[in-house]
Amino acid sequence: MKSDFDVIISGAGPAGCTAALALGSSGLSVALIEKERFPREKVCGDAIPAYVPKVLGTIDPSFRAALEEIEDKQPVSICRYVAPDRTALDIAFRENGMVCRRPVFDSFLLKLASGLDNLTIFTGKLIKNIRTGSKGVAVSTGNGEEITARLLIGCDGSTGVSKRILAPSIHEPSEGSVAVRAYFSGIKDNPHETLEFHFLKDLLPGYFWIFPLPGNEFNAGIGMPSAIVTSRKLNLRDTMMKIIETDPVIGLRFSGASMKGNIKGYYLPLFTRKRKISGERFMLCGDAASLVNPATGAGIGQAMQSGRYAGWQAAECFRKNDFSDEFMKSYDLTLYGKLWRSNRNYMIIRNLVLKNPAVLNLASRAGNSNRYIRKALAEKL
């Protein structure tokens, strides 16, 4: 088996597969190395942002068309915010999003990538170590094998190896969030095609979500900044069960529901500031670059956007034969140029709105009584 490539991509989640797709027509030889075998579970709310088809379409229109063909997905057209005083505000998406279980969505992306002639996919291969030097990179895998390349794109998630070795200073657990989720059937009174966010007073600045899946199943969960989970000494699984069993509104809706499997949790590395996410011979993407929305906890779209830009930047590195720290900075600049402005607004929401029940109540009432406010909010989604 070939062991020397132009580019190594570590991790085959949304960031890694999108980076591979973006390199599809580059003529470069690419290795995508993933520790799991697909379909693999990924703890997530499964809500795929509405702009994801566009990200794929800008790489190749046929990728966007292929996404439409996924059958096991639930379209969503409305976002419902339920304020602490239980006032509900419905905002129609400008474009429909979807909810799709991650094993289905991630396998779709990997299958799409597997059609690329220039890509070699290694699954079931854990990367244990990464070495970078002036001439290239070398990764060593669990069984002692070494794979080399001129450049590495680190897409191995929040607890992966690339962030830990190549940019240890950007791993800041106290600046992240933690979230837990479980699958249910039999939840009552579900609004049609709606993502529900419940801002319960005792859970702020966190929230409880209910997202619809095909077949009248649901992904429900809660998320909260990890610093608050620690300071309040919370066990999020217990907190979630308590809400399901005792909350006067949510409890009633879950009264006949059954949970499928267990409640599972994971860490979310939030995009709280600009960090240095590239260096000589490497770039980091998605959760490895801490790009999760600080207010909503969504990260799939940013993972795919960063994967796409990293793929394009990699092709540029080969065209110019420049892999220097200085040249890589254009990846950071392009990505932050695209994401930072709207992210700053989400930071304001996180710092000023989500902590304050009175402001959330007011926002919900104002949105219900004023269509211009609803329109402005819809534009932000």
| Closer residue to ligand FAD, CB minimum distance, 181 or 281 | 181
Burial tier of 279 (Cβ tally within 10 Å: 0-12, 13-18, 19+): middle
- CB atoms closer than 10 angstroms to residue 47: 23
Chain residues 130-149 in contact with ligand FAD, contact rule CB under 6 A: none
Identity of the residue, 121 or 200, whose beta carbon is nearer to ligand FAD in the bound complex: 121
Interaction of residue 292 with ligand FAD, rule CB under 6 A: yes
Residue closer to ligand FAD by CB (options 191, 320) is 191
Q: Rounded CA gap, 254 and 237, in Å?
A: 16
Of residues 53, 63, 138, 156, which one binds ligand FAD by CB under 6 A?
156
Residues that contact ligand FAD, how many (by CB under 6 A): 40
Residue 196 is a binding residue for ligand FAD (CB under 6 A): no
Binds ligand FAD by CB under 6 A, chosen from 12, 83, 243, 283 = 12
Task: Give the tokens for residue 333.
Answer: 């600049």
Residues 247-266 that bind ligand FAD (CB under 6 A): 266
**Cβ neighbours of 269 (radius 10 Å):** 25
CA 169/CA 365 separation, integer angstroms: 42
Assess 283 for contact with ligand FAD (CB under 6 A): no
Q: Which residue from 110, 152, 200, 298 is in contact with ligand FAD, where contact means CB under 6 A?
A: 298
Q: Does 35 contact ligand FAD by CB under 6 A?
A: yes
Q: Going by C-beta distance under 8 Å and a sequence separation of 6 or more, which residues neighbour residue 366? A: 373
Q: Of the two residues 42 and 275, which places its CB atom closer to ligand FAD in the complex?
A: 42
Span from 84-92, 150-158, 229-237, 318-326 in contact with ligand FAD (CB under 6 A): 150-158
Query: Contacting ligand FAD (CB under 6 A), which of 127, 153, 240, 270?
Result: 127
287 touches ligand FAD by CB under 6 A: yes
Q: For ligand FAD, which residue of 101, 181, 198, 308 counts as binding (CB under 6 A)?
A: 181
Question: CA-CA distances (angstroms) from residue 6 to 30, 135, 322?
Answer: 6, 11, 13
10 binds ligand FAD (CB under 6 A): yes
The answer to whether 96 touches 77, Cβ cutoff 8 Å, is: yes
Nearer to ligand FAD, 48 or 200 (CB): 48
One of 137, 203, 268, 360 touching ligand FAD (CB under 6 A): 268
Is residue 55 involved in binding ligand FAD (CB under 6 A)? no
> What angle do helix axes 14-22 and 300-320 make, rounded to 10 degrees?
30
How far apart CA 10 and CA 33 sit, in angstroms, is 5
- Residues between 204 and 233 with contacts to ligand FAD, criterion CB under 6 A: 221
Stretch that binds ligand FAD, among 146-154, 226-234, 246-254, 286-294 (CB under 6 A): 286-294
Given phi > 0 = left and psi -120 to 50 = alpha, else beta, which region is 287?
alpha
Q: Report the C-alpha gap between 203 and 297 in whole angstroms.
A: 15
Q: Which is nearer to ligand FAD, 340 or 370 (CB)?
A: 340
Q: Which residues, other chains included, contact 123 with Cβ-Cβ below 8 Å and sequence gap of 6+?
A: 12, 34, 36, 37, 38
Q: What DSSP assignment string belongs to 169-191?
A: GG--GGGSEEEEEEEEE---SPP
Residue numbers at the binding site for ligand FAD (CB under 6 A)? 10-16, 33-36, 42-47, 49, 126-127, 155-157, 160-161, 179, 181, 221, 266, 268, 286-288, 292, 297-301, 303
